[in-house]
Amino acid sequence: MTIRVVLADDQTLLRGTLRLLLDYSPGYEVVGEASDGDEALALVRAHVPDVVLMDIRMPRTDGLQATRSIRDDSSLADVKILVLTTFETEQYVVEAMLGGANGFIGKGTDPPELLAAVERVTRGDMVLSATASVARVKRFREQQHTPRPTVPGRLAELTPREREIPRTQHVVPAH
């Protein structure tokens, strides 16, 4: 099976490099190149590729809006979107994934890893680079962290369940 790809990045050199990588790798066909989100959306509608390699920061319409526009079009439901960006921040990871991206990786990704990521999103897997995963987990931990109150003495050694038991016990007076 040949994986049909649209490249969306405002950097001509990067698009050319990605095209060379995909053209010389068996099983891939680049069906279009876009320099902004509007062009990407038009190419995706015209060619209905398997995967879009989508940059985030592009002129006119950025990759996040283009991703949302692709997801809003039910005829493009099977198109997978792999965000390929320099900016692996938690904010962009969350925005991209909530907008419908299937994966999020950095432009520093090694070529074999990039090809593997394209194959994985094509199969329906979700892909996050290690940097993107760490950014998201770090933010999640910050949101979940709640300082625990300290309990003096031996009560501090009890588990939460052990501290709960006395509250649930009722003493029934003898008749």
CATH number at residue 48: 3.40.50.2300
d(CA 7, CA 114): 13
Q: Kind and range of the H or E element at 23?
A: helix 12-23
pLDDT digits (tens, 9 = 90+) for 2-42: 999 999 999 999 999 999 999 999 999 999 999 999 999 99
Report the 10 Å Cβ neighbour count for 108. Answer: 10
d(CA 71, CA 101): 9
d(CA 11, CA 116): 23
pLDDT digits (tens, 9 = 90+) for 40-74: 999 999 999 999 999 999 988 999 999 999 999 99
- The model carries a pTM of 0.74
- The domain in which residue 42 lies consists of 3-133
Q: What is the C-alpha radius of gyration for the chain, rounded to an integer number of angstroms?
A: 24
Q: Is residue 14 part of a domain?
A: yes
Q: Is residue 17 part of a domain?
A: yes
